[in-house]
Structure 1
């Protein structure tokens, strides 16, 4: 490509069109914002900033909104708490978010729930765009560049600086404009109804359920039950301390330190303090707390020790890597499912996981309905949670693949990215 053929450089988006608004952090200011946004027009762009990696949990520390006729609002939910009045004022209005599944839980905690949703990241995936982060997608579709220097910052800091507030305002500055461009492209590609079904699924998704025995993530290299008890006790103690202090658990005690204690099982405070992983300032500050947790685990009766393996989940299925030897027929079906889905995803210019999730693919291969015809496969996938458009696109093709495996192209013919 010659210099003349180079695409024009994106225009930096550095200042909001109407300047950086004052932060809304009083009841009177919130009431004025509610009135302004109720009187606004069209969709409303919404974003939220958290303090992941700094604070305990995933609460919102700033909420940004922009709507035609209302401008941009930056709302501090910490002193205000409940923002349900704003949500009620926007009832029936389409909310435009980028990667909505990340922000909807923390927005719901403060009473903000959309009645309709457009997710620009998900729209980009449905269009088969190579890069769907907000910065890249704004650059590709609008020719503008967004700075992302505060994307992983500590948004619990108060007061927020001018640069933080400018960054936050710019995140919603062109979100509705981006939405309009992507909607037109989805419509042109015949995917708009598909996208709407996806948006609604995200909007209605329940909060993530707590995962059982998360402490096992700290058991790297720990093989015996007593060591696992140490890991469990340290993990649970760390959670309690982190919640009380409102600090991200990893900033209090690292997973490496928990695993090391599980492997070595230090009996005394001196032994624990001598471990390299506990010399970090944050870990050393609470050394006695960690030592007491280890002692409690070491003193547990054998009957109270955790099992070496997690309890069996009746809804789980074995990892596919074990199928070839133990369940060769299921392994063969999985090859068919992966090839069919991947091949059709290529035809549709979709990521294969958006056409049918890897989990649904595995479950269908592991325990297909009988008979495995289009109707029964469609019902099976719908029961799992597949959307109508997905069922329409894959059920017949999967039934044909099961009926005539030789007609299915090999995985090598349709790409090398395996579903695992």
Structure 2
């Protein structure tokens, strides 16, 4: 986050924070500019704004235009950069509302997937070509939904993580490796809008303008660092990704739930959340735009006994919530009148392990093993310049420590980690050291 000055650590222009330990100057403070002229001398030059290499193309929204795009991409060479825009925060669905594609030998293409029921011309054109995506897990589900699935891919964000780069957002990587500034002023717009304004289309096209170039630069860095094979295994593991697993009791993630006490008020939260979710899915509107989480919590705390009392709550008077008052009241009434055995427990069901802080009391040997495993992972991360979560998912480490295989050796540890989804490079680096660490702790206990 910081750079070394002549005698101390200083913030780069535009950065908002710096590690506290780095703020103190080692010898003398950095001189403060006396006037604007001095300031210009110490300030770093701003990177040039990335520009499109060609005018923004028309959006393909007819079968003939889709065929034209598919033919142009098929005639190109090398990997194809792909990005998708969704209307998160506006729509319930996570479908793609715009596709951006770019390949050497063809110009950038913009496709409106909403206009098509059959994307097979594009799927056929992309078949067998390496896809370059940034944060592939964000875009793959909506691409798979419309029949687009990669045979090979390169994830620029994941590559940055494997290189242990401190910031791996697309704009940051483009700035650091391509030397250009990526505009982000339209990142939160409603992409379901039709027609899409030209400035939005220009912004979207820029996301794939240098993505293939970025891919090559990152691939070179991975090769230099001896991590190319690790990245290849990570990218291969992403090919089957279709989305995160469904959450248990998703209503328990309602913001402010900690303020609600008792089973019946929790029942109000659950019923309102479910009513909102069903209505949002039917109307294809983001749930929070129909009824805010704060309104759900407000109703659960107030426990209104009549529709008029519910209507009087501030959160229910919002212009989007008001038309659906009957649905909200039906949900509240259902919880208020439910039998006790139909109410949710005060603590949620958990498919995971107990909180780590409780391990010393609930399973002391596991707590000792976890400390040993974490020390091993930390040392390996330092040695190989990796973030801990990319070397081994923390959940895998916790499960290994809680219920290790018997006997504990490199082979059994590797098998357990592979069952959880670990790649070969991860088990090759960690299994032996983890087994030795746990066995050493067991011997010392």
Shorter-chain TM-score range: over 0.9
Moved more, 265-274 or 389-398: 265-274
Structure 2 equivalent of residue 207 of structure 1: 243
Q: Is the 8 A contact 1:25 1:76 kept in 2?
A: yes
User: What TM-score do you get using the length of structure 1 for normalisation?
Assistant: 0.92
| Deviation of 1:300 (Å) | 2.1
Secondary structure of the residue aligned to 2:131 is strand
The whole-number CA distance in structure 2 between the counterparts of 1:225 and 1:49 is 40
The alignment status of 1:293 with 2:331, answered yes or no, reads yes
Q: Does 1:138 pair with 2:169?
A: no
Q: Equivalents in 2 of 1:177, 1:246: separation in Å?
A: 37
CA shift digits 1:229-259 (9 cap, x unpaired): 2111111110111112111001111112112
Matched, 1:243 2:278: no
Q: Distance in 1 between matches of 2:211 and 2:401?
A: 40
Q: CA deviation at 1:9?
A: 3.3
Task: Quote the offset at 1:364 in angstroms.
Answer: 0.7
Distance 1:367 1:116 in 2: 35
Q: Which whole-Å deviations, capped at 9, do the CAs of 1:304-355 have from their partners, x for residues lacking one?
A: 2223333453xx2111111122211111111111111012112111111000
Asked if 1:303 corresponds to 2:341, the answer is: yes
What's 1:99 paired with? 135
Indicate if the aligned counterparts of 1:43 and 1:93 stay in contact, CA closer than 8 A.
Answer: yes
- Aligned-pair distance for 1:136? 0.4
Cα 1:407/1:203, change in 2 over 3 Å: farther
TM-fit CA distance, 1:8? 4.9
Contact 2:140 2:241 in 1 (8 A): no
Query: 1:16-415, aligned counterparts within 5 Å?
Result: 16-218=52-254, 219-311=257-349, 313=351, 316-405=352-441
Is the 8 Å Cα contact of residues 401 and 407 (structure 1) preserved in structure 2? no
User: Hey, what's the Cα distance between the residues in 2 that align with 1:62 and 1:68?
Assistant: 20
SS where residue 130 of structure 1 aligns? Answer: coil
Q: Is 1:66–1:173's contact at 8 Å kept on the other side of the alignment?
A: yes
SS of alignment partner, residue 368 of structure 1: coil
Q: Cα RMSD between the aligned structures? A: 1.9
Distance 1:174 1:208 in 2: 29
Gaps of 5+ in 2: 7-39
Secondary structure of residue in 2 paired with 1:117: strand
Counterpart-to-counterpart distance in 1, 2:381 and 2:118: 43
Deviation string 1:140-193 (CA, Å, 9 cap, x unpaired) is: 011011001111211111111111000011000000000000001100110000
> CA deviation digits over 1:52-100, x for unaligned, max 9?
0110121111000000112110001111133232122111100000001
- After the TM superposition, which of the residue ranges 381-390 and 256-265 deviates more from structure 2? 256-265
CA distance in 1, matches of 2:407, 2:442: 19
SS at match of 1:122: helix
Partners in 2 of 1:312 and 1:347 — Cα distance?
35
Alpha-carbon distance in 1 for matches of 2:99, 2:146? 10
